[in-house]
Structure 1
């Protein structure tokens, strides 16, 4: 506390002690001096007044009376001095006690966290402690000159001045006065203070004093508490809202997606098919957004729980990536994955959430990568007992992310920057959800990236390892299959995929030899044939650069007496060319990204299919799953008209008999009068919901020995929905929008199936004449073997491409980058539809040149594109004529 009197107190006390001691000594000396002077004077007077008296006689021989009087004087002075000294000591002790109390109070006031202040009647601060200065933010010299009104906001000034006036008028203190002050730095702080009057002589107002407390944090905490309560209430409302909205949005989406899928399976014109594909894609995009929002909400509320099931890592990764393979191959991107050999294959964990994270990262990589490759790498970070920490990385060659933006992308609704968001779209939730899911699975996620050089997203997850498969890398070879020493030529122009394939073959103890081009492959074949060894198996990528994979297959078939067995690795773009490769001599095909089990199946088929009595080993098949159904009698309880229509069409396409009712009560009535094989029960219906109806059905079945399988159909996707359905007595659960594959698999799980009817194997290809090496047959297959559809689209192509080529020339002349890019992109799609790969590649290069504004390069590419299309036009006209001849022949036969 700033008070100069306290600074002088210690020297004053020291002086008082010295003065007291001096006074005691002075009184004693004075008394002795007075007695001595009196003694001398008395002796002189005696000598002067007495005839025979002398000074010395009187001085040394005083009478008894004189001695007593002199002693009395000394005692008087000693007593007086002692009294004075005692009085001074009492005063000193009182001063010291007062000083101690003041020092104690001063120390307390200086060290309390609250501010202490005294204000003069003029309004200036007379006394204050350090806490007061800290709260107000002013230094001491400025605070002494400051009027307290300067600390108040305009809104608070009148209130505070009124309280001070009331204290002055009543003489009573006021407590808990709350108001806002403005610090020197301009910050606002909530404070509470007490105000007491200071009275001077005669009761005159001498100012005010009080204790000032900063309660800003308490106010903020109270506000946060209120906000938390409001947020919890909002969270409860949000959960209810999300559950209802999930149902309301998914229900029409179910009809949209289902009906579009049914229409896509029918005969359509090219424009109709393309428009429906846009609708289909948009519906699934909307569904993905809904799923992200629901997952994010569940994670945010702490209500997302992980499941635990067994899965095989290598096959799981292959299946997951095949979902995105179509999009990757449409962009001419190589999509591959590699699992390190020392990673156990049989794992326990939440495969669904693991897939969700993986697809989010790969999907992002696809979105931001226009050329190159996307590779998923899985390796063992650590393993203790049966607990595996798996490290997964998704590496792309895309646009990359600026260093300063890398932390933002894992936040909800955030992307690298606004322009990228507008160009590529997306909600910004995918990575936020992935980050939270990885944390739930015991791992961490991060990114390494550089602008223009791609990105590597890597994360870790914890899994339990099946102890029986602890040392197995995933591909168990059948006893009768031994690829040890098998000489294999692997041809792939992507270095990463080439390395992965060779590593896979080497793990089976085969002897792979890599080749990065057709030219290199031919050189290795010639060298091995000259050495007399040759290759027993050749693995060829279908997307090799010219002269292409088909040319290499034909070369191998023609170059040796006993040609090597050939496996072709197809992409989703070239899978329709399977027949062409098989006719050229390929023994088996496998779709990229290549799973080890698929490759092993293809090797077995290629090497042993011609042997008498050959059968694929048990548990292995080169065919896809059988998704046919027997003619079941199904009851569908569904209240929404467009869902009724979709379900009826879907089930009738599977040759099932369908009865539809609109409520749970009607479903109970229908079951009372007819035996159904399966019941598809919507959960949310009027009159009686699906859960209540199922519980009632199970009650009625007691004692009868019957049990009709009931499959729940619900648009709810919140935590616990599946459990509630199963607890109610349902056998299985499918969520809306209903996937046809998911529904048929679910039905297959609850009812026994009959043998597949051979007559339902599918339609035979249309008879065509003059098929050029199977090319027309493959092209017709891409058009669902619909010759009318093929002819219409072909005629449209012939009429549309010349004006588009002219538009490209005009765009180059005007240096119109956007027009050039857009037209080249459209021509690329048209060429891909007709499998004109050379023209499509030229259009792609032209599109890329437009992006770079390389108009000189574009001029040469446009001429090349025109030449390719013109050459294909004459070839296409021959195929149109061949299709017409085939139809005529067919009509003639009829």
Structure 2
């Protein structure tokens, strides 16, 4: 197509090609040559006739023209034929030339059309670098108009750095006469933009094959270059992310390993006789160690979330009890600052949920911990309400309100960024990395919610977040009163100087159809009692805060005891509980003590026990302290593979306290050698060790066991905290996994879970099953966190589930299906251990081991023995269930 900017004589591509007018002129010339031949032959005929008439003696011109003689006719005919043949030959030659020209013109037209319509630019330049030919795409790539490119120096399109390189290649083409492909360089468009291009360069030759210039195809590859650059950046970022993950895993191990020794040895020292000053110093060390562990966990969580490698778990939990447990973790810190810590769950919020309670607790503790840190006086209250509930899918709305310093409006969005705080100076005053809220924000997002804050400077803050959970419709919705317990109409005096906590307690009591009488101080409580006495009413129960100001708690307790006589049972709410405190209040006639923040289930248990007719000594409703039942662990011979001296010392001391015999080796190779020379009950295997790591050692041990048919339990100990570490250990053949720093209670529970506890003597076992059903009840209730409802639910599931499992084993024995026998016996063993049915668990273990060895000899006798033991235990379990309230 013609360019309007192209002037006359412009040396563009199409101007060099043959036009249709030229082809028509050639055709007409061939026709004229033929006619000229005919004309010349005719003129000769006339001329010959004239000559013959002049030379002949007879005849006229007309006679010789029309009727020549024979000889005369023959000569004229020869001349005429000569001219006709000559004209025809010339015409043929010209027509052949015309056909060749037309073919060439068609080829050049096709070539021109292709070059004009391709997306790549076509160009030709002379030796001086001037553009002599170019197409439309070349013009578009460079951004110039056609008249601006005509005879323009090619150097103007290049950067100074590229000019020497490009013209050096042109010179090489000139010298060698060979084309060069894929030369890449940068051109500068007319608008100043720089574009990456690639070109091929070949020589332009004349008819004598002499190089007279260069031609090439120019392609814009800027987008491809940018895509390649992005790909390289992405690969670099992924590589950096992998390196960071590896670094964090190694860092976690290197920091957690000595930290494990510090925390463990401090825990052991605190259990030994110490002076008051020594105990206080060790508690400072312990607090600092846990603070450091918290920072490490924040960094690891932030990195895992950022890398998309953190996945949420799904497990059922009780919301109201869960919140109480979570708040108790920080209750001591709040009490030390004289802050009231409470929580309220709206009545319409379902209690049994399914989700990730660990990450939910992490967000809550982060927000509550920050509230305690930045609040000097007042209260911190956690609210839970239903944002939406559709198809058993709950959007839970949580709020943490404090009476602290508040956050400026301009800083409220900043606090959710990593490594940021509302005021940079606070990092010195209060400490912190600024990662907690960033991690919480991302965790909330993973849980399908969002997080935000509302705050007024000087008046406190409210942190809100939402999270999605499934509702467990198969479980009870809230703490349920036992069928034989009726609390409706009971008058309860509730005394608490914190208005929020007072309101929450009254709501709890009203939900159980009790009649709360609220008082905000000891004096107002006495006034309430006086008015009730005037109306002829009496108090059935008094629920009193232990931290009342002014008149004090003890004076109120004595006042109630003196006026209401023994009929009024008193339950005290304590922020901290010690044996000394319990003894003091027991002497004053207090029936029960429940720790704050008060969980509904704890309060309900305390009320029922307070109102019972039994004259029981004071009890403290709280969580079991670690180490209280360490004697339950049987004496074991344990092999420990650990390379760190600090951890070796801690593990040895811990196991010796549990009456276990310990052998320490420094790596996996020595562990294999020790197992070959001695029998052990258990192996505690560190994962990362020199010479041979724990994973490799476990694989070797399991290979040897395939030959012998034996199986020794192996528990992994690792400071690695990245995704997949537990799965990697289990796949290698380990039986369980204990993360570092190792908590003594966690390790003890793990050992008890995977090893059968020595069974009691038959007489004792029979006695327990026959008459003393309550002998083991206290121990079992501690294992079920003193939650009577939970205990009954799980016990009912056990009683209904184990008979079909016994039938499955019997059928599998008949079918000689050793794998099914082993798998079902293993499941029964775990179920029995949950209820500390040690005799049945030991029999199930024997059956599992027989099947795992591929033999079923004696399996029939073992299944009959197991059925009998489980039947006796079922009777024992039902007796315990009858004694449990809640």
TM-score (norm. length: structure 2): 0.62
- Determine if the alignment matches structure 1 residue 407 to structure 2 residue 407: no
- Aligned counterpart, 2:739: 735
Which of 478, 481, 490 aligns to 1:477? It is 481
- Aligned counterpart, 2:727: 723
1:262-301 superposed Cα distances (whole Å, 9 cap, x missing partner): 2233344455444433332222222222222322333333
1:520-574 superposed Cα distances (whole Å, 9 cap, x missing partner): 2222122112211132112122222222222222222233345632211111388
8 A Cα contact 2:343 2:383, kept in partner: yes
SS at match of 1:413: coil
Q: Separation in 2 of the partners of 1:387 and 1:138?
A: 63
- Determine if the alignment matches structure 1 residue 439 to structure 2 residue 445: yes
- Aligned counterpart, 1:333: 339
- Pair 1:151–1:291, CA change in 2 (3 A): farther
1:747-784 superposed Cα distances (whole Å, 9 cap, x missing partner): 333443789xxxxxxxxxxxxxxxxxxxxxxxxxxxxx
- Pair 1:530–1:267, CA change in 2 (3 A): same
Q: Separation in 1 of the partners of 2:195 and 2:551?
A: 78
- Aligned counterpart, 1:298: 304
- Determine if the alignment matches structure 1 residue 449 to structure 2 residue 454: yes
1:197-245 superposed Cα distances (whole Å, 9 cap, x missing partner): 99xxxxxxxx999999876554333222112222333333333333333
Q: Separation in 2 of the partners of 1:576 and 1:162?
A: 95
Q: Separation in 2 of the partners of 1:531 and 1:124?
A: 116
- Aligned counterpart, 1:380: 386
**More displaced stretch, 329-338 vs 262-271:** 262-271
8 A Cα contact 1:635 1:667, kept in partner: no
- Pair 1:503–1:647, CA change in 2 (3 A): same
Counting only pairs closer than 5 Å after superposition, residues 289-368 of structure 1 correspond to structure 2 as 289-368=295-374
- Pair 1:193–1:686, CA change in 2 (3 A): closer
SS at match of 1:461: strand
8 A Cα contact 2:401 2:460, kept in partner: yes
SS at match of 1:389: strand
Counting only pairs closer than 5 Å after superposition, residues 485-634 of structure 1 correspond to structure 2 as 485-561=489-565, 564-572=568-576, 577-608=581-612, 610-611=613-614, 624=624, 626-630=628-632, 631-634=634-637
1:140-193 superposed Cα distances (whole Å, 9 cap, x missing partner): 9x999x999999766557667888999999999999775567899998765678
Q: Separation in 1 of the partners of 2:260 and 2:295?
A: 15
Q: Separation in 1 of the partners of 2:343 and 2:220?
A: 61
Q: Separation in 1 of the partners of 2:576 and 2:616?
A: 32
Counting only pairs closer than 5 Å after superposition, residues 22-41 of structure 1 correspond to structure 2 as none
Counting only pairs closer than 5 Å after superposition, residues 878-893 of structure 1 correspond to structure 2 as none
- Pair 1:727–1:118, CA change in 2 (3 A): closer
1:710-742 superposed Cα distances (whole Å, 9 cap, x missing partner): 433222222232233334444332111111222
Q: Separation in 2 of the partners of 1:275 and 1:132?
A: 81
- Determine if the alignment matches structure 1 residue 647 to structure 2 residue 679: no
1:353-405 superposed Cα distances (whole Å, 9 cap, x missing partner): 22222222222222333332222222222333333332222222333334443
- Pair 1:738–1:530, CA change in 2 (3 A): same
Q: Separation in 1 of the partners of 2:500 and 2:137?
A: 68
SS at match of 1:418: coil
- Determine if the alignment matches structure 1 residue 459 to structure 2 residue 433: no
SS at match of 2:463: strand
Structure 2: gaps (5+ residues): 8-108, 205-212, 761-886
SS at match of 1:560: helix
- Aligned counterpart, 2:260: 254
Q: Separation in 1 of the partners of 2:170 and 2:527?
A: 103
- Aligned counterpart, 2:837: none
- Aligned counterpart, 1:369: 375
Shift of 1:335: 1.7
8 A Cα contact 2:400 2:462, kept in partner: yes
Superposed CA RMSD: 5.1
Q: Separation in 1 of the partners of 2:604 and 2:190?
A: 78
8 A Cα contact 1:2 1:128, kept in partner: no
SS at match of 2:325: helix
Q: Separation in 2 of the partners of 1:182 and 1:367?
A: 60
Q: Separation in 2 of the partners of 1:124 and 1:488?
A: 104
TM-score (norm. length: structure 1): 0.62
1:72-102 superposed Cα distances (whole Å, 9 cap, x missing partner): xxxxxxxxxxxxxxxxxxxxxxxxxxxxx9x
Shift of 1:338: 1.8
Q: Separation in 1 of the partners of 2:756 and 2:665?
A: 21
- Pair 1:699–1:5, CA change in 2 (3 A): closer
Shift of 1:643: 1.2
- Aligned counterpart, 2:249: 243
Q: Separation in 2 of the partners of 1:450 and 1:173?
A: 73
Structure 1: gaps (5+ residues): 7-100, 199-206, 756-894
- Aligned counterpart, 1:265: 271
**More displaced stretch, 695-704 vs 502-511:** 695-704
- Aligned counterpart, 1:828: none
Shift of 1:468: 1.9
8 A Cα contact 2:606 2:621, kept in partner: no
Q: Separation in 2 of the partners of 1:132 and 1:506?
A: 86
- Aligned counterpart, 2:400: 394
8 A Cα contact 2:451 2:466, kept in partner: no
Shift of 1:627: 2.8
8 A Cα contact 1:629 1:753, kept in partner: no
- Pair 1:149–1:504, CA change in 2 (3 A): farther
Shift of 1:668: 5.4
8 A Cα contact 2:590 2:618, kept in partner: no
- Pair 1:354–1:572, CA change in 2 (3 A): same
SS at match of 2:362: helix
8 A Cα contact 2:636 2:659, kept in partner: no
**More displaced stretch, 446-455 vs 267-276:** 267-276
- Pair 1:666–1:377, CA change in 2 (3 A): same
8 A Cα contact 1:601 1:622, kept in partner: no
Q: Separation in 2 of the partners of 1:738 and 1:534?
A: 53
8 A Cα contact 2:545 2:573, kept in partner: yes
- Pair 1:320–1:131, CA change in 2 (3 A): farther
Q: Separation in 2 of the partners of 1:185 and 1:334?
A: 69
1:309-356 superposed Cα distances (whole Å, 9 cap, x missing partner): 222222122112211112122222222222222222222222222222
- Determine if the alignment matches structure 1 residue 226 to structure 2 residue 229: no
- Pair 1:515–1:156, CA change in 2 (3 A): farther
Counting only pairs closer than 5 Å after superposition, residues 613-692 of structure 1 correspond to structure 2 as 624=624, 626-630=628-632, 631-639=634-642, 640-664=644-668, 666-667=670-671, 676-686=680-690, 688-692=692-696
SS at match of 1:447: strand
SS at match of 1:582: helix
Shift of 1:474: 2.1
8 A Cα contact 1:177 1:193, kept in partner: yes
Q: Separation in 1 of the partners of 2:562 and 2:429?
A: 50
8 A Cα contact 1:542 1:574, kept in partner: no
Shift of 1:707: 5.7
